[in-house]
Amino acid sequence: MTADATLQIPATRRVALVVGPGGVGKTTVAAALAVRAAAVGRRTIVVTIDPSRRLAQALGLGPSSGHAPGDVARVEIDGARLDALLLDTQRTFDTIVREHSPNKAAAEAMLVNPIYRAMVRSLGGALEYAATAQVHMLASSGQYDLVVLDTPPTANAIDFLEAPSQIAEVASNPAAKFLAQSGRLGMRFLGLGSGLVLKVLESVGGGAFVGDLGRFLADFGAVLTEFQRRAGALADVLTSPSTGVVLTTAATEFSVREALAFLVVLVERKLRVDGVILNRVDGEVPPWPGDDAVREVLAREGGDVEAALAQARALHHDLGHQAATARAAEQALRERWPRTPLVLVPRMVPPPSSLAELRAMGASIWPTGA
């Protein structure tokens, strides 16, 4: 990695995907980048998934602000404006269903279908699909210069990247049409007869379930196909030259191990990695000044000097260990990806969550904001 201390994102980027392992501060980084872009005058929106309550409040998304999930919130930053959206999977899918159903009656029928309502809540990949679709809709609306996405917490990049096609595949199941038309009979056409599959499926969902599921999938598949026909394939959004990725990781052994695996996948899949943020970096610890120098200070405090000395020495050792871990993390990233910009962000406990703190963080990570 180059010695860049700050992020340089090409001006052509309209979408910034903040990706990385779980629990590394992705949401904070996404918010800080968005705050920075807004502060330099770009029309910006940040789409976030599960922010802490304080962070949500800073972005105008708190429950006290009267915003429902899925509403666009707006905050002022030095006269500039930042929009924020708490992703609501249900509302994103509802929008797709309303806009891409063959007619209004069909849309209304689907919106109240219990299978549909349960699906948007619990189907694996539905959240990732909604996030990608939401970003796509916002980016193509012409209202924003930059859309920042705080990606859902997946353990690896593939889970996020493949979710859109997984959902599309579920909905385009060739079995759906047969099941929709003829239920039990359809299963026999598919060569799955003998009642075995039905026995299992129906024990899962009750008697009429298989036919209902088939009908739903056929209709839902048609809606998603129409959405993608008009909007273009969602997978293309991720690999478009106007989309850049900011990989975020914490400066710990496990997070960096995961981040290195992320990078391989991102590059393989032809996404454009604009930089890596190494978060929660503990700076160098001044060397131990020697027992006598410390004793001199401790003696002024009275009490058990030797016990206090041991305590101070232990804490100094621990802090040194932690700084060494951060250094090793930095080195591992630089060695494997020498040409990717690496930005170090010092550890802050608790993490920044007020608008002022986010502004400071954004300005140090990404001074140009454009």
Partner 1 sequence: MDAAGSATRSARPVFDALASRRFVVVSGKGGVGRTTVAAMCGLELAARGAKVLVATTGHDDRLGWMLGSATLTDKPLRVAEGLFVQRLFAPTCIREYGALVLRSARVSSLVFDNRIVARLMRAIPGLDDFSLLGKAWHEAFRGGDYDVVVFDGPATGHLLYTLGVPRAILSTIAPGPLVREAELMQRHLEDTERTAAVLVGLPERWPLTELDELGVALRQQVGLPVAAVVVNGLWPHACPGQQGLHAGDAAAAALQRLADAAAVGARQRQELAAWRAASGASRSTVVTLPWRFDGAGSIAALRSLAEHGVVVDQPEVAT
Where in 128-187 is the site for partner 1 (CB under 8 A)? Answer: 153-156, 159, 166, 169-171, 173-176, 179
By CB under 8 A, tell whether 53 contacts partner 1.
yes
Using CB under 8 A, pick the residue from 203, 230, 270, 339 that binds partner 1.
203
In the numeric block, the tokens 């001074």 are attached to: 367
Both tokens of 172, joined, read 């385009």
Of 70-78, 91-99, 130-138, 254-262, the segment contacting partner 1 by CB under 8 A is 254-262
Strands 146-150 and 72-77: unpaired
Helix axes 126-140, 157-171, angle to 10 degrees: 90
Both tokens of 281, joined, read 């970096």
CB 133 within 8 A of CB 234: yes
What's the min distance (Å) between Cβ of 13 and partner 1? 26
Output 178 or 337, the one with its CB closest to partner 1: 178
Residues across the chain:
370
- Interacting positions 6-25 with partner 1 (CB under 8 A): 21-25
Give burial (CB, 10 Å; 0-12/13-18/19+) of 124: exposed
- Interacting positions 74-103 with partner 1 (CB under 8 A): none
What's the min distance (Å) between Cβ of 224 and partner 1? 12
Output 145 or 159, the one with its CB closest to partner 1: 159
Output 27 or 44, the one with its CB closest to partner 1: 27
Output 121 or 241, the one with its CB closest to partner 1: 121
Binding residue count for partner 1, defined by CB under 8 A = 78
- Interacting positions 282-341 with partner 1 (CB under 8 A): 285-290, 293-294, 296-301, 308-309, 311-312, 315-316, 318-319, 321-322, 325
Give burial (CB, 10 Å; 0-12/13-18/19+) of 306: exposed
Output 54 or 81, the one with its CB closest to partner 1: 54
Name 83's bridge partners: 45, 74
Q: Alpha carbon of 151 to those of 19, 191, 237: distances in Å?
A: 6, 40, 14
By CB under 8 A, tell whether 69 contacts partner 1.
no
Output 156 or 181, the one with its CB closest to partner 1: 156
What's the min distance (Å) between Cβ of 154 and partner 1? 7
Separation of first and last alpha carbons in the chain: 21
Can you give 39-70 as a three-state secondary structure string? HCCCCEEEEECCCCHHHHHHCCCCHHHCCCCC
